[in-house]
Structure 1
Amino acid sequence: MSKVTPATRALTAAGVGFTIHAYDYDPEAESIGRQAAAALSEDPARVLKTLMALVDGKSSVCVIVPSDQEVSMKKLAAAVSGKSAQMMKPPEAERVTGYKVGGISPFGQRKQVGTVIEQTALAHDLVYLNGGQRGLQVRMKPTDVRDALKAIVADVIA
């Protein structure tokens, strides 16, 4: 497994501190984020999942939430001044981000889109996010995640 991805290149170029953590990815897992948390022996609240959504049927948005939580589409839409939101279909998420589902990182996406991070993620000293490849996580300060992505911080969990 390569530990250099568009995500790690983007973080390095931005001067953001991070560490790389590989784990055995299980494509059959019911929840990729929870499986990553278990494989890393971490609290699922500290392992964040990266999801792609459409707001008002046209605007792509990246949303980052703890792996043990679900996104409220109503709250997500409101966070970006929209009326409605829905999850992107996997082929569309892959096309927009340049990553495969299960390996979507908020960093180094093909087309950078607006990002919303769940406010409770900022309560941790360090969090994990996908590093741009299945089975690869980056660990970093949540404030660095917010700052590097110019993310909106909001309550978006159901």
Structure 2
Amino acid sequence: MGKKEAKTNAMRILDRNKISYETISYECSEFIDGLHTAELTNAPVEQSFKTLVVQGKSKNYYVLVIPIAEEIDLKQAAKVLGEKSVEMIHVKDILQVTGYVRGGCSPLGMKKQYKTVIHDSALAYDSIYISGGRIGSTIRLNPQDLAKTAAAVFEDVVMKDSRPS
């Protein structure tokens, strides 16, 4: 009999909300970046999203789900979130704030439901790939289903391409 993958909080929340998703497991014992994860899972880079946590001047935490090859535009994110400014939380605080480890941070199933923004490029796809809630686990799901489950909004919060055209 095959080994059944233990469910993460993210998967349990999707199950509870009757959201259809696919889990993809990959061999990995430590943090690797999203580009390497996409490579290991054969997920298209442009459909692969990373989960980042920022803290606003108000001390509130926010979750940003952005394409793995992009960087957050902190000024734009602050504007979208209604904050004077936001900054990335320290790596050492990820577990305490989210309940997840670095590299296994899913926008679903954190210790608290933080205000969540999904980059609007996700709307171009039937499915996107996000962390499954542990290192070695990816979830493929519909971006609208993710937004509904995470009570998220779609906004543009990434750096504009600064390369000359």
Structure 2: runs of 5 or more not aligned = 160-165
Q: What is the aligned counterpart of 1:13 among 16, 20, 36? A: 16
Which position in structure 1 is the counterpart of 2:163?
none
Aligned length: 156
Find out whether 1:48 has 2:20 as its counterpart: no
TM-score (norm 1): 0.93
Kindly state the Cα deviation for residue 28 of structure 1 after the two structures are TM-superposed.
6.2
Counterpart-to-counterpart distance in 2, 1:42 and 1:6: 22
Kindly state the Cα deviation for residue 3 of structure 1 after the two structures are TM-superposed.
3.5
Kindly state the Cα deviation for residue 6 of structure 1 after the two structures are TM-superposed.
0.8
Find out whether 1:27 has 2:30 as its counterpart: yes
Which position in structure 1 is the counterpart of 2:97?
96
| Residues 53 and 62 in structure 2, CA contact (< 8 A), matched pair in contact too | yes
Identity score, percent: 29
Cα distance change of structure 1 residues 122 and 26 upon mapping to structure 2, 3 Å threshold: farther
Counterpart-to-counterpart distance in 2, 1:143 and 1:28: 28
Structure 1: runs of 5 or more not aligned = none
Counterpart-to-counterpart distance in 2, 1:141 and 1:66: 15
| Residues 78 and 86 in structure 2, CA contact (< 8 A), matched pair in contact too | yes
TM-score (norm 2): 0.89
| Residues 20 and 137 in structure 1, CA contact (< 8 A), matched pair in contact too | yes
Q: Could you give the per-residue CA deviations for residues 25-46 of structure 1, whole angstroms, max 9, x where no partner exists?
A: 36364xx111111111222111
Counterpart-to-counterpart distance in 1, 2:127 and 2:31: 27
Equivalent residue letter for 2:79:
A
Q: Which structure 1 residue ranges, 4+ long, deviate > 6 Å from structure 2?
A: none
Kindly state the Cα deviation for residue 2 of structure 1 after the two structures are TM-superposed.
3.8
Which position in structure 1 is the counterpart of 2:134?
133
Kindly state the Cα deviation for residue 14 of structure 1 after the two structures are TM-superposed.
1.3
* Segment of structure 1 superposing worse, 19-28 or 74-83: 19-28
Equivalent residue letter for 2:62:
V
| Residues 26 and 35 in structure 1, CA contact (< 8 A), matched pair in contact too | no
